[in-house]
Amino acid sequence: MALNIGILEAGSVGVDFTSHFSTYTESFQRFLAPGGVGPALRSYRCYLGEFPQAGDACDGWLITGSAASVYDGDDWIAQLEAFTRAAAEQRPVVGICFGHQLIAQAFGGTVVKAPGWGVGVHRHDLTARSDWMQPPVSSLSLLASHQDQVVTPPPGAVVLGGSDFCPIGIMTVGPNVLSIQNHPEMTREFATDLYQMRRDRMGDAVVDTALNSLKKATDEADAAAWLLEFLTR
């Protein structure tokens, strides 16, 4: 039987980017099940108040990125935090970018707005290991797009990797929760349009440096293997 992953969508795709994908679930479908080979994904639009009825409704859960901040105070964010805590008692939960930050906040960590932008290819060096981290690489380079970041991990969390800019870049919370700040599902084409669209907000120097970094090699295949291994343990 195919693995069934619930995608907890934390936002919609802006109209300027729908040529890349129409929903975040579609983006993760291409990443985790290219050509339809891989897990089945079930979408929940949490940002609209659509939530699963139970934490065991799927084999595992994945919380997406978002244009929102986890400290915005919206009701759906608090509801997603509560669902994440409950689901983690029964199933593996993975958080990406906003999902990474929401996991931190949900379990007692701290998220703030950083003084600069994390954009372009960012490498997180690994400082700890676990048996599901196969292949056992020493670092993970992925595309990034964030300003908020985790500055204090939850009590008992294990920080697996990070960088000088983002020290808490990969972490686990207990046996069932994994979160990653960077975006393994993001494509270079989408990143290029996203950075260009935010040029006025981020500044020419930041955007040009980010665009130039897209020439670097990245580790999406390793990240996909890690996530699938974690979700099927």
Among residues 173, 193, 181, 100, which one has the least CA distance to residue 140? 181
CB contact at 8 A, 185 and 228:
no
Burial 106-137 (b: 16+ CB within 10 A, else e): bbebebeeeeebbbbbbbbebeeebebbeeee
Looking at 107-198, list the stretches that DSSP marks H as alpha helix, in order from N- to C-terminal side: 188-197
Q: Say which of 122, 124, 146, 183 is annotated catalytic.
A: 183
Q: Say which of 122, 124, 146, 185 is annotated catalytic.
A: 185
Is residue 229 annotated as a catalytic residue, yes or no?
no
Q: Say which of 97, 122, 124, 166 is annotated catalytic.
A: 97
Is residue 183 annotated as a catalytic residue, yes or no?
yes
Is residue 20 annotated as a catalytic residue, yes or no?
no
Six token digits for residue 133: 């981290």
Read off φ and ψ for residue 111, nearest 5 degrees.
-125, 135
Catalytic residues: 97, 183, 185
